[in-house]
Amino acid sequence: MLVAERRRKIVELVNERLSIRVSELSEIFSVTEETIRRDLEKLEQEQLLSRSHGGAVSIEKEATDIPFIVREITNSAEKMAIAAEAVKLIEPGEQILLDGSTTAWYMAQELPDMPLTVITNSIKVALELSKKEQIKVISTGGMLLANSLSYVGPLSERSLESYYVNKLFLSCKGVHLSGLSDSNEWQAILKKKMIEISSKVILLADSSKFGVKTFAHICDLKSVHHVISDANIPVDYQKELQEKAIPLAIVKQ
């Protein structure tokens, strides 16, 4: 394969998957990781993608929310396994917060019908939990983002100020050594508020999120108390979490 053709296909893959690691590209194209890094450097100079720690991210879709129906089928096996593990951390009688992520929606499906108060900014999560008689659901309300089917904005932020929760189950677009980030600024601001009112923050992030830095900063890694991911989480991030004494649960699909 010619260099130009390989680089064109790399851009297509990055835009299709939104993020991809150097090791994956090396395997796909049967070239060394050093060759892939040179390719990514050249493509970044041409403003066709953005390099991240250990890989590359799309700049084509980074600034907008990906429709929920697309996120629902992206890495779905990993997300469902992460959701099932997260549910194990919930005790009857607790007050918890579920964000507008697809993983939170999978959690809502997995949650048993037990005494629980759930605050959420997600329409999909609220609808799923409405089927369970013992679970009290509180919606933040606010400005609706059609792609994510979730509420954001000043009204959502003010509604959270009335509450305090035991646990927040949070996802995001990127997990980097510099912290958590989201492609949508409104989402990032609301997630900051969620963190402020939560005693414990549990990050739900499949391995594709690691090494990715997107538009809006949410918080530093030190704000997270527990991480649930899949077996492909990069080793350097496993070490970083261990050094920061942040428990990591790795799920099997």
pLDDT tens across 162-172, in order?
999 999 999 99
Q: Residue 147 class from Cβ within 10 Å (0-12 exposed, 13-18 middle, 19+ buried)?
A: middle
CA 68 – CA 83 distance, rounded (Å):
17
- Mean pLDDT over residues 115-126, rounded? 97
Say what the pLDDT of residue 142 is.
94
Residue 240 region, left (φ>0) first, then alpha (ψ -120 to 50), else beta? Answer: alpha
In-domain check, residue 63: no
The range of the structural domain enclosing residue 110 comes to 68-251
pLDDT greater than 60 at residue 200:
yes
pLDDT tens across 51-92, in order?
877 888 877 644 445 555 555 445 678 899 999 999 999 999
In-domain check, residue 62: no
- pLDDT over 90 percentage in the chain: 66
CATH number at residue 115: 3.40.50.1360
Answer yes or no: are the C-beta atoms of 224 and 246 closer than 8 Å. yes
- Same domain, yes or no, for 80 and 52? no
- Same domain, yes or no, for 30 and 74? no
Say what the pLDDT of residue 183 is.
82
In-domain check, residue 127: yes
- Same domain, yes or no, for 162 and 212? yes
Cβ count near 46 (within 10 Å)? 10
In-domain check, residue 169: yes
Say what the pLDDT of residue 4 is.
87
Is the model's pTM score more than 0.75?
no
Answer yes or no: are the C-beta atoms of 170 and 197 closer than 8 Å. no
- Same domain, yes or no, for 118 and 7? no
pLDDT greater than 70 at residue 101:
yes
Q: What is the CA radius of gyration of the chain?
A: 19
pLDDT greater than 90 at residue 249:
yes
pLDDT greater than 60 at residue 95:
yes
